[in-house]
Structure 1
Amino acid sequence: MLRRSATFYRDRAALVCESRRFTYGQFMERVNRLADVLSASGTGPGDRVAVLLPNCHRFAELFLAVAQVGAVLVPLNIRLSPEELAGLIEHSETVGLLSANPLRKTLRAMGNTLAKLKFLIGIDLEEEGFKDYEALIEANRFSGRELDFDDGGIAIQMYTSGTTGTPKGVLLTHRNLMANTLTGIFERRFTPQDVFLNAAPMYHIADIEYFLQILSVGGTNVFLERFQPNLFLETVQKEKVTSTWIVPTMIYDLLAVFDPGRYDLSSLKTIFYGGACLSPGLFWRAKKTLSCEFSLGFGLTEASPLVSMLRPEDHRGDPEGVERRLRSCGRKVFNVEVRIVDEEGREVPVGQVGEIVVRGANVMKGYWKMEGETRQALRGGWLHTGDMGRIDEEGYIFLVDRKKDVIKSGGENIYSREVEEAIASHPAVEEVAVVGVPDERWGEAVKAVVVLREGAECSESEIHESCRGKLAAFKQPKSISFVETLPKNITGKILKAELRERYKQASGAPHEF
């Protein structure tokens, strides 16, 4: 990818990170030098190299340098505790680490784990054992070695967010990433004129996929070290950003500070979003305020990650049709197969709920050191996503629930998404999450956790009343709690496991609504 872009677009801007700017020629030179540094350290095919960094150009440089020597990149979430990070470093069998000064306290707390690694590289980091990144780049001259790696080899080991349990090390090959990159370019129509703002963290697969797509077409990748609404808007204006990927929570935060007299966003053509669907209210406000296109991407790390898209044209047209489509995950993308199957793996009729399964060159090789979980996920040539959904007559995929999140109450299966949509239709509701909690009588009871719109008032009985006619009686929430915020991970996914733990006290009292 880089070699082609460096040949075709040598003097074009490749990377922008605060005041630092690099052309494709400079980018290639830095990656080559860093690859020599890795090779000199004894790092080679199959070795794991971890990166613990906020978004920056050095993350990108390391990713491609690791690939050059046939090693495997292991991105680590900077928000994890030292104990969690040490566990992932040991589980992944990492041989070296790149990190930076802002994370020095975390690194000190991992001293015993880091002491076992072959090499440590730091950015503005004066800690024992760390060699300075820029000094290593400056001291090395590229040896001119030929790039020689197996495209079926592992390129990256991404640890899942763990919203449904223990994080798994997802093994994605070079072929997986290339397949996803080509699909993304085809679907999103990226060109060398695109300037993409990497505002979501690169230790998640979603931002990495966009980085690779922009790199492949010779566009410009701009990096935000961390998301701050005003800084985001200033960067869009300054760098004439054409597109970005963010989560709905970020869109909400942008609208809270946006001032049309202060920010010129005329260059911004498309906001790609994911992690969760946009509520109709938030979408209409964002469309009116930001005056750009919107496009949802649905997927999972195990699929590199893109599976389906709600394209810009799906966000246009009559409001009723738009709002119906906003509840979906869009339609499958080019070169990826999607089916809905029953427990025996048989495809179900249109409109019937089953498990979403995926097949394509984008599907992972497996989970690192988890053979049982790999066999369970990859069956009959299909990736079993664990998501329950249905596909309508037009091909739109509607996510119903996580398979593990289906609520089994009184012998009935209740899909939380259906209950959430009914509650969210109340004008006072900003956000809602529905989970199953232990109940002596029902086995599991439907629990709703609701965030109200700013300044709105609403009672439990009003929520129940608004759901009558929308939900069968057995699907009605048995209890409702009102909170200020819902727990989420960095990509905006609601942490339902945390909610279940919070509200797991069983109750045997009868419920009648």
Structure 2
Amino acid sequence: MYLTQGLHRSLQRHPDKPALRHVGDGDVRTHTFAELLRDTGQHAAALQARGVKAGDRVALLAPNHDRLVRALLACWWLGAVACPLNVRWSAPELAYAVSDSEASLLVVDEALAGLVRELPLPVIDFEQLAQEAQGLQALPDVRAGGDTLAAILYTGGTTGRSKGVMLSHANFWTASMTRGAELNNAPDSVSLLVAPLFHVAGLGRLVGQTLVGGTCVTMAHFKPAAVLEAIERHGISDVVVVPTMLQSLLDDPGFAPERVRSLNRIAFGAAPMPPDLLERALQAWPHAEFFQAYGLTETAGAVCINLPDNHRDPAALAQGRLNSVGRAGLGAEIQIVDESGRELPAGQVGQIIVRGPMVTRGYWRLPEASAEALRGGWLHTGDAGRMDAQGYLYIVDRLKDMIISGGENIYCAEVESVLRTHPLVSQAAVIGRPDPHWGEVVHAVLVLADGATAEQLPLPVLRDWCHERLAGYKCPRGLSHVPALPLSAAGKVLKTVLRQQLAA
């Protein structure tokens, strides 16, 4: 179970097949499996020549491109630990992660070099690494695998200081097999890697494609028009998106069904999918398989998948399974527990806990946080959910985002779904606002539809809309209109930013 195994297998099966292609900025670079394997070994030699040894951490700062992929693979080839960093972080945030990981080398995209000039460690750019690799004799693959540490992925830091999630080769391998057991990952698939590779969704998809010998296409930035062009031009067959990405594609003036006909599998997750948006997507891609995946950075990817049939089959739709994230995948155990850790009966809401070989060994240099998250041998996800009698899991909210008003639990995703049904609303987020009487009340943050104005949707009108669809205590008592919701690089709404803006 080592993450470079797929390169060796593909060299035997289809050495001249495209393994990796980068598109963007008018440039297309294609690498066959034979070329990628050779380059990986040479890049590993270049890292070794700079003093990197097995077990050392190598920090990588770049948007998605082929050079980043080669460096990631070279780390694993050498037995080093890859630490891909968030390209949207500030210089202090990057400095913290580099220091915390005790990285021995930082490889940076030239455009981002200004953020890391003052860091006290060796820094080179990806082009320089490639130049140093040329002419070197490729190192033999150490074939590190199993429990050997493969990557440290830093959490977004939206609730405090970022934590480095330690993920082994076996964690990534198992997560890929869990997904593949539910949905065949065909070797002839062409996967668009536009979800960032410092995020587990993007990195996990790279791992899955590499293991089966599929083709990866990288794009540095998610730009709807460019993504549509890439799908059409390069025959993209599958993509991993968050809901905000999917909406951007459907809203783009250049969207047309005939342009995206090659796309036959669409995975989504990381944030609640608004029902109206999913319905639009299902109609736009009537031939495509849609599936929702649920997982965390701490599980190296999905631990359960809501299969395509549950998105279109009338019987499944009648049972409400469209709103589920599926059942526990191969190798994963999932329970819903109360505050004391007692498993709850079907239908009751509690915290989701997970265990299995895909679960992290813990957080880098944070033994207390690791022990707390993994107490009793289960990963405590911090997500609130319920499970039905057939084992289907339904995500209710993040526990930290849940609003408690007058002793009542209010789940933001439920309120947000109702807000989005208003014809003047494009996007919606809900946060708790401190209240001296109720403790917290619901505050809505809206992005209006094109052409709509705040005067057309004041708070009383919005409350009347919600009162027809929700209990009174769930209806917003505050309202903000914004031009856009703040998003993380992975496309999640940054509710901590919204809370800070509201407090200010």
The TM-score with structure 1 as length reference comes to 0.90
**Aligned counterpart, 2:413:** 417
Instruction: Indicate the RMSD between aligned Cα atoms, in angstroms.
Output: 2.2
2:23 aligned with 1:27: no
Instruction: Supply the distance in 1 between the matched residues of 2:87 and 2:194 (Cα, whole angstroms).
Output: 15
> 1:285-328 deviations in whole A, cap 9, x for unaligned?
22333443322212110010212222221210349937944433
Instruction: Supply the distance in 2 between the matched residues of 1:67 and 1:474 (Cα, whole angstroms).
Output: 52
Q: How does 1:344-423 map to 2 (within 5 A)?
A: 344-423=340-419
> 1:67-111 deviations in whole A, cap 9, x for unaligned?
1222110001111111211111111111101122222332xxx32
**Aligned counterpart, 1:191:** 186
Deviation, 1:350, is 0.6
Where 2:281 maps in the other structure, the secondary structure is helix
Instruction: Supply the distance in 2 between the matched residues of 1:427 and 1:146 (Cα, whole angstroms).
Output: 57
Instruction: Supply the distance in 2 between the matched residues of 1:337 and 1:262 (Cα, whole angstroms).
Output: 39
**Aligned counterpart, 2:225:** 230
2:254 aligned with 1:268: no
Whether the aligned pair in 1 keeps the contact of 2:61 and 2:106 (CA below 8 Å) is: yes
**CA 1:264–1:467: 2 relative to 1, 3 Å:** closer
Where 2:225 maps in the other structure, the secondary structure is helix
Deviation, 1:495, is 1.2
Instruction: Supply the distance in 1 between the matched residues of 2:36 and 2:294 (Cα, whole angstroms).
Output: 31
Instruction: Supply the distance in 2 between the matched residues of 1:349 and 1:294 (Cα, whole angstroms).
Output: 29
**Aligned counterpart, 1:509:** none
Instruction: Supply the distance in 2 between the matched residues of 1:304 and 1:230 (Cα, whole angstroms).
Output: 30
Instruction: Supply the distance in 2 between the matched residues of 1:211 and 1:343 (Cα, whole angstroms).
Output: 37
Whether the aligned pair in 2 keeps the contact of 1:434 and 1:447 (CA below 8 Å) is: yes
Instruction: Supply the distance in 2 between the matched residues of 1:323 and 1:270 (Cα, whole angstroms).
Output: 23
Amino acid at match of 1:379: R
**Aligned counterpart, 1:112:** 118
Amino acid at match of 2:88: R
**Aligned counterpart, 2:425:** 429
**CA 1:77–1:260: 2 relative to 1, 3 Å:** closer
**Aligned counterpart, 2:174:** 179
Whether the aligned pair in 2 keeps the contact of 1:314 and 1:322 (CA below 8 Å) is: no
Where 2:171 maps in the other structure, the secondary structure is helix
Instruction: Supply the distance in 2 between the matched residues of 1:95 and 1:335 (Cα, whole angstroms).
Output: 35
Instruction: Supply the distance in 1 between the matched residues of 2:78 and 2:289 (Cα, whole angstroms).
Output: 40
**Aligned counterpart, 2:94:** 85
Where 1:170 maps in the other structure, the secondary structure is strand
Deviation, 1:474, is 2.9
Amino acid at match of 1:21: T
Whether the aligned pair in 1 keeps the contact of 2:68 and 2:126 (CA below 8 Å) is: no
Instruction: Supply the distance in 2 between the matched residues of 1:50 and 1:347 (Cα, whole angstroms).
Output: 40
Instruction: Supply the distance in 1 between the matched residues of 2:427 and 2:390 (Cα, whole angstroms).
Output: 28
**CA 1:13–1:489: 2 relative to 1, 3 Å:** same
Whether the aligned pair in 2 keeps the contact of 1:74 and 1:156 (CA below 8 Å) is: yes
Where 2:39 maps in the other structure, the secondary structure is helix
Where 2:310 maps in the other structure, the secondary structure is helix
**Aligned counterpart, 1:498:** 497
4, 7, 15: which is aligned to 1:10? 15
Amino acid at match of 1:430: S
159, 165, 186: which is aligned to 1:164? 159
**CA 1:420–1:289: 2 relative to 1, 3 Å:** closer
**Aligned counterpart, 1:451:** 447
**Aligned counterpart, 1:477:** 476
Where 1:503 maps in the other structure, the secondary structure is helix
Deviation, 1:236, is 1.3
**CA 1:6–1:302: 2 relative to 1, 3 Å:** same
Whether the aligned pair in 2 keeps the contact of 1:356 and 1:388 (CA below 8 Å) is: yes
**CA 1:434–1:7: 2 relative to 1, 3 Å:** same
Instruction: Supply the distance in 1 between the matched residues of 2:144 and 2:209 (Cα, whole angstroms).
Output: 22
Moved more, 420-429 or 232-241: 420-429
**CA 1:440–1:341: 2 relative to 1, 3 Å:** same
**CA 1:352–1:268: 2 relative to 1, 3 Å:** same
Whether the aligned pair in 1 keeps the contact of 2:244 and 2:491 (CA below 8 Å) is: yes
**Percent of aligned pairs with the same amino acid:** 38
**Aligned counterpart, 2:246:** 251
Moved more, 62-71 or 153-162: 62-71
67, 71, 77: which is aligned to 1:62? 71
Deviation, 1:31, is 0.6
Instruction: Supply the distance in 1 between the matched residues of 2:255 and 2:397 (Cα, whole angstroms).
Output: 39
**CA 1:416–1:323: 2 relative to 1, 3 Å:** farther
| Unmatched runs of 5 consecutive residues or more in structure 1 | 125-131, 506-513
Instruction: Supply the distance in 1 between the matched residues of 2:92 and 2:307 (Cα, whole angstroms).
Output: 41
**CA 1:174–1:240: 2 relative to 1, 3 Å:** same
Instruction: Supply the distance in 1 between the matched residues of 2:470 and 2:353 (Cα, whole angstroms).
Output: 28
Where 1:111 maps in the other structure, the secondary structure is coil
**CA 1:155–1:240: 2 relative to 1, 3 Å:** same
**CA 1:13–1:434: 2 relative to 1, 3 Å:** same
Moved more, 439-448 or 191-200: 439-448
339, 342, 349: which is aligned to 1:343? 339
> 1:265-285 deviations in whole A, cap 9, x for unaligned?
222111212222332222232
Moved more, 431-440 or 235-244: 431-440
2:212 aligned with 1:207: no
Moved more, 327-336 or 304-313: 327-336
Moved more, 293-302 or 406-415: 406-415
Instruction: Supply the distance in 1 between the matched residues of 2:117 and 2:67 (Cα, whole angstroms).
Output: 23
> 1:365-408 deviations in whole A, cap 9, x for unaligned?
10011111111100111100001111123433222222222223
Amino acid at match of 1:426: H
Amino acid at match of 2:317: G
Where 1:234 maps in the other structure, the secondary structure is helix
Amino acid at match of 1:111: R
Deviation, 1:247, is 1.7
Deviation, 1:136, is 1.2
Instruction: Supply the distance in 1 between the matched residues of 2:486 and 2:324 (Cα, whole angstroms).
Output: 22
Instruction: Supply the distance in 2 between the matched residues of 1:324 and 1:381 (Cα, whole angstroms).
Output: 32
Amino acid at match of 1:504: A
Deviation, 1:353, is 0.6
Instruction: Supply the distance in 1 between the matched residues of 2:420 and 2:482 (Cα, whole angstroms).
Output: 14
Instruction: Supply the distance in 2 between the matched residues of 1:80 and 1:60 (Cα, whole angstroms).
Output: 20
